[in-house]
Amino acid sequence: MPDPLPKPALCKVGRAQEAITPQIGVSLAGYFHDRRAEFIRDDLFAKAMVIESGGTRLALVSLDLISVSGDVADSAKDIIRRESGLPPDHVLICATHTHTGPELRENAVVRTCPQFVGLLPRRIADAVKRAADSLVPATLRAGAASVEGCSFNRLFRLKDGSEVFGRSAQAIGPAGPIDPQLQTLSAVDEKGNLLALAVNFALHPDVIGGGTANFVSADWPGEIGRNIAAVYGKDVVALHLQGTCGDINHAPHDPTNLPRGGPAKAVQLGRALAGAAMLAMERAEPMTAIPLASTIETLAIPYYTRDAKLLAEVAELKRKANPSPFDKYLIERCESWPHDGKTADVPVQVMRIGDIGLVALPAEIFVRIGLDIKHWSPFRQTFVVELANARASTYVPTTDQAERGAYGAKPILSRWLCADAGRRMADAALVMLHKLAQPVTGR
């Protein structure tokens, strides 16, 4: 006779969401010009999932925003510590990266809304407190599905070895891969009802509006949540933990009759990715042991320091008769760059949730870095989450792509840190993962 299956382990899970929708008129984040919200297409949320097992609690928080600032995350974690008892390193706060939400980022092109930013830590903490106060017995299940045809590497290699954003006549092929793996972490109560779902997939949420957007929207991550709720119930909370999508977009490079952008594309992606998430979690086995652990290490990584090559490029841009918004931004930022010779504090967070690992990094990370972490991780599945806990940089390319000139690698315009920053983050995360993967003793 075959060996009996191990009994599913019970933990406790709570979930909640708080609306963080801004007022009409707010400036929208994500572009090199100011766009104002004239209406609200769909609400933005702070979504929280709290897990308790073996006397340890962890909280996952996903925000329908373009990024998370260190000030907001730290303030929220301080309130959470005082009111809900979770240590700051046991709380992960990340952004979905929607480009149709308010601006939070320092030194951004468009204006922030101080009232919105000021209230945000309180709203995040309220979501976590409501989740922590609603804990019920549940099983956890980690699933995965492969998704092809929804994500595309947006950088291309040229014959001279440089790289550019988008395909050109001189392109010889994509400059990098995609990560087709969609991963899920689902919590199911004792009656078999889905309580909460965390989805990890690498794809830029810059779909629903683009540079002409004049409305507030959670983009396709919000559409995933609506589709999941339509099937499993309105009380299900679906968090999106953004994967490493610094060089990943939604638009195919070949002709297609499918929508290429705008609301129709966001709706299509929301349905397709919700379907993949349902496939992943419906065939996922419940965990038979749920040890929890979390740690944060703050790395000191050098900022990019201006060199003669960049200064000469900026001088040439200043001589142009009609500089583009990119050019103007690069000129302004280069001339006011305050970080020469300095180092940045870069928090790298690693969690263990049962038999999965979770890595959280504070920037837009090129996909090869996420794939490398997954490859060398000791866990059965590893979620790599970007835009978490702070904003240590805008983009973090691989070491070899950092000097090839494409958007996402361009110093100051889109890369703030030294060329080797991604490798340093990945190496630190892997050391931390292997430490957390060691057997739990003393219990």
| 127 assigned to some structural domain | yes
Asked if residue 262 and residue 186 are part of one domain, the reply reads yes
| 140 assigned to some structural domain | yes
pLDDT score at 107 = 57
User: Burial of 101 by CB count in 10 Å (0-12 exposed, 13-18 middle, 19+ buried)?
Assistant: buried
Q: How far apart are CA 266 and CA 187, in angstroms?
A: 26
Q: How far apart are CA 101 and CA 216, in angstroms?
A: 6
If you average pLDDT over every residue of the chain, what do you get? 94
pLDDT digit string, tens, across residues 88-147: 999 999 999 999 999 887 655 777 888 999 999 999 999 999 999 999 999 999 999 999
Q: Report residue 321's pLDDT band, with 50, 70 and 90 as the boundaries.
A: confident
List Cβ neighbours of 130 (8 Å cut-off, separation of 6 or more).
14, 16, 18, 48
pLDDT score at 169 = 82
| 404 assigned to some structural domain | no
Asked if residues 245 and 238 have their Cβ atoms less than 8 Å apart, the reply is no
Looking at the chain, how many residues does it have?
443
| 5 assigned to some structural domain | no
List Cβ neighbours of 333 (8 Å cut-off, separation of 6 or more).
107, 412, 413
List Cβ neighbours of 59 (8 Å cut-off, separation of 6 or more).
48, 49, 50, 51, 80, 84, 86, 90, 91, 92, 128, 131, 132
| 419 assigned to some structural domain | no
Query: What average pLDDT does range 28-36 have in this prediction?
Result: 89
List Cβ neighbours of 77 (8 Å cut-off, separation of 6 or more).
88, 91, 93
Q: Is the pLDDT assigned to residue 439 strictly greater than 80?
A: no
**What angle is formed at CA 106 by the lines to CA 101 and CA 111, rounded to 5 degrees?**
55
Listed range (300-304, 333-337, 431-435) with the worst mean pLDDT: 333-337
Asked if residues 370 and 202 have their Cβ atoms less than 8 Å apart, the reply is yes
Which of these, 42, 41, 60, lies nearest to 132 by C-alpha position? 60
| 426 assigned to some structural domain | no
Neighbours of 240 (CB within 10 A): 31
| 107 assigned to some structural domain | yes
3-state secondary structure of 144: strand
Asked if residue 329 and residue 247 are part of one domain, the reply reads no
Give the residue ranges of DSSP H helices in 55-113: 70-84
Q: Is the pLDDT assigned to residue 326 strictly greater than 90?
A: no
Task: Tell me the sheet residues that pair with 351.
Answer: 294, 358
Q: How far apart are CA 214 and CA 108, in angstroms?
A: 18
Amino acid identity of 240?
H
Asked if residue 320 and residue 283 are part of one domain, the reply reads no
What percentage of the chain reaches a pLDDT higher than 70? 98
Query: What average pLDDT does range 181-206 have in this prediction?
Result: 98
Amino acid identity of 406?
A
| 350 assigned to some structural domain | no
Asked if residues 185 and 356 have their Cβ atoms less than 8 Å apart, the reply is yes
Q: Report residue 397's pLDDT band, with 50, 70 and 90 as the boundaries.
A: very high
Q: Is the pLDDT assigned to residue 56 strictly greater than 90?
A: yes
Sign of the C-alpha dihedral, residues 286, 288, 291, 294? negative
* Token pair 């990098």: residue: 176
Q: How far apart are CA 422 and CA 443, in angstroms?
A: 36
Asked if residue 326 and residue 374 are part of one domain, the reply reads no
Asked if residue 313 and residue 207 are part of one domain, the reply reads no
Asked if residue 203 and residue 137 are part of one domain, the reply reads yes
Neighbours of 40 (CB within 10 A): 16
Amino acid identity of 398?
T
Asked if residue 82 and residue 135 are part of one domain, the reply reads yes
Asked if residues 110 and 100 have their Cβ atoms less than 8 Å apart, the reply is no
Q: Is the pLDDT assigned to residue 325 strictly greater than 90?
A: no
Amino acid identity of 360?
A
Asked if residue 185 and residue 309 are part of one domain, the reply reads no
Q: Which helix (H) or strand (E) holds 194?
A: strand 194-201
DSSP for residue 246: T
pLDDT digit string, tens, across residues 286-301: 999 999 999 999 999 9
Task: Tell me the sheet residues that pair with 27.
Answer: 36
Asked if residue 219 and residue 135 are part of one domain, the reply reads yes
Asked if residue 274 and residue 309 are part of one domain, the reply reads no
Q: How far apart are CA 248 and CA 122, in angstroms?
A: 32
Asked if residues 408 and 398 have their Cβ atoms less than 8 Å apart, the reply is no
| Domain range for 317 | 305-335
Asked if residue 374 and residue 313 are part of one domain, the reply reads no
Please state the domain count of the chain. 2
pLDDT score at 28 = 93
pLDDT score at 443 = 34
pLDDT score at 442 = 39
Asked if residue 281 and residue 206 are part of one domain, the reply reads yes
